[in-house]
Amino acid sequence: MLKIILAVVGRDLKLAMRRQADIVSALFFFVIVVSLFPLGIGPEADLLRKLAPGVLWVAALLATMLSLPRLFADDHRDGTLEQLALAPHPLGLVVTGKVIAHWLVSGLPLALIAPVLGIQFDLSNDALLVLTGAILLGTPALSSIGAIGAALTLGLRGGGVLLSLLVLPLYIPVLIFGAGAVDATVSGLGGEGHLSLLAAMTLASLGFAPWASAAALKIALE
Amino acid sequence: MTDRFNLYKYAAPATFYPLAGKLIPWFAAASVIFGLAGLYLGMLVAPTDFQQGEGYRIIFIHVPASWMSMFIYLVMAFWAAIGLAFNTRLSGMMAQALAPTGALMAFLSLWTGALWGKPMWGAWWVWDARLTSELILLFLYIGYMALTAAIDDPRRADKAGGLLLLVGVVNVPIIYFSVKWWNTLHQGSTVNLTKSSMATTMLYGMLLMALCFWMYSIAVAFMRVRTIMLERERHTDWVKAELEGDAR
Amino acid sequence: MIYWNSFADFIHMGGYGLYVWGSFGVNVLIMAIEPIVVTRNQKATKARLKRQIRAESRSTE
């Protein structure tokens, strides 16, 4: 079981390394969107500190959306996906591997760069730490829920826009608790409760979403 | 074909199409009767609410619309589950026929909520937990309709839409509680749309209106599902017979 | 039984007239328009399908 997942993760990472430009562009998209906000609303430190959690999280959601359409599209185009679906091992495990790989190239970089952007918003060290932790804990849920949307919209016209229409409403709980964790730290309440709920959501979605995506992929491949 | 005919006799479009046609007038009539009775009680007989004044009368349509918007989503998810489990053709068509009505109900709930909120809260829109959840529900409806509209093959549209509905219905409680929690953390609205002790006339008025909305939704969904059936089954004999019979 | 003293009172709705009638008006409008749109769709679909069937039967004959 673990072997299948690891094999898929390794393969997808290798493929992703050939397209490093994509990873870097998504990351820069995140940086640019976040940096636009102070320009749009003014440089008052108090205001920025209050807005930072929401802005960073919404930008993280959007940056994750960017790479989702590619999650299955390339494998679909060259026929790999059909072979994987016909293979004896369950498709859900393959999707789990792909989700993990997607998170490693999209969610993890976001978490690593988020504290730097947090400094722009005058966040305290504690808040920066919680922000990194929250994005680290929350983005796997984004990748796995997003995989369902990517599988449902596989091969459709206007798939990217449709994908965000389907997936963004489902991201709301992650957004609320992710931004809430940082918010609670900023206001001195402590974000541990939020973080543990975020972790619970990530675990639940990692457990369920790959199987839902596998079902969606089978529907799309029929 | 024969095994399905025995097992899912009433789920077969050829049987359901005329049945729905016969039932539509009855549901429509029931809707009108319940609506008139509900309006009579709610608008003419029921006394004013001492806290909210006459503005409270908006809840006679706000609450039924909100209930229906949630109920229709659940019914769609129910059909989706049936459709994915037993591979029946009717279920996907029913889900697709219900979606626009559900979205309209969610819209009505938001519209009446805004018109209620302006005099009560002093603002057209307040990030109240219920209104916010209703807005997200509207997004879910729109996502479902956009997905099924984007897929040309009706079988795939049914199944993909059904899967999205099931994912959505699992998420709805999570979304609702997270929004509620978010709301209590940030402000907590003071006046509630539907609290306060309701007089029995008010309660009956509201229940009658809810029945009116329910019957209306069934009638419109049946009308829509008949169109979908004709479209999907256009190569079958029963549709041809139906259309020829219609011409005479 | 009727709560209102006059028709003007009923329309006025204790100062909430705009909001109450705005809600009910849009509601009635939607519930009137939706069935009309659905019926027209059905008529259009039927007409289109009839044309298709006629065209098909002509081409096979």
Sign for the pseudo-dihedral over CA of A42, A43, A44, A49:
positive
pLDDT tens digit sequence for B4-43: 445 556 668 888 888 999 999 999 999 999 999 999 988 8
C61 band by pLDDT with thresholds 50, 70 and 90: low
A211 band by pLDDT with thresholds 50, 70 and 90: very high
Closest-CA distance of chain B to residue C29, Å: 11
ipTM of the predicted structure? 0.90
pLDDT of residue A135: 94
Instruction: Reduce the DSSP state of residue B125 to 3 states and report it.
Output: coil
Q: A188 exposed, middle or buried (CB, 10 Å; 0-12, 13-18, 19+)? A: exposed
Select the residue of B139, B163, B178 nearest A177 (Cβ to Cβ): B178
pLDDT of residue B9: 62
pLDDT tens digit sequence for A66-107: 889 888 988 888 888 888 888 888 888 999 999 999 999 999
Flag whether A touches C (3+ CB pairs, 8 A cutoff): no
Q: What percent of chain B clears pLDDT 90, i.e. is strictly above it?
A: 46
Select the residue of B163, B175, B185 nearest A173 (Cβ to Cβ): B175
Q: Which domains does chain B have, with CATH numbers?
A: 22-245 (1.20.120)
Residues A51 and A53: their CA atoms lie apart, in Å, by 6
Q: Is C47 on the interface with B (CB under 8 A)?
A: no
Q: Is C4 on the interface with B (CB under 8 A)?
A: yes
A58 has pLDDT over 70: yes
Is A219–B164 a contact, with Cβ atoms under 8 angstroms apart? no
Enter the pTM of the model: 0.90
Q: Which two tokens stand for residue B24?
A: 């539509």
Select the residue of B151, B159, B167 nearest A156 (Cβ to Cβ): B151
Closest-CA distance of chain B to residue C27, Å: 7
Contact list in B for residue A176 (CB cut-off 8 A) is: 178-179, 181-182
pLDDT of residue B196: 52
Interface of B with A in 184-243 (CB under 8 A): 185
Candidates B210, B26, B179, B198; CA nearest to B109 is B210
Q: Is B169 on the interface with A (CB under 8 A)?
A: no
Cβ contact B161:A148 at 8 Å: no
B227 band by pLDDT with thresholds 50, 70 and 90: very high
Residues B232 and B230: their CA atoms lie apart, in Å, by 6
Instruction: Reduce the DSSP state of residue B53 to 3 states and report it.
Output: strand
> For residue B171, what is the nearest residue in chain A, using CA coordinates?
A170
User: What single string gives the DSSP state of each residue in B62-122?
Assistant: HHHHHHHHHHHHHHHHHHHHHHHHH--HHHHHHHHHHHHHHHHHHHHHHHHHHHHHHHHHS
User: What single string gives the DSSP state of each residue in C18-52?
Assistant: HHHHHHHHHHHHHHHHHHHHHHHHHHHHHHHHHHH
Candidates B187, B149, B183, C12; CA nearest to A165 is B149
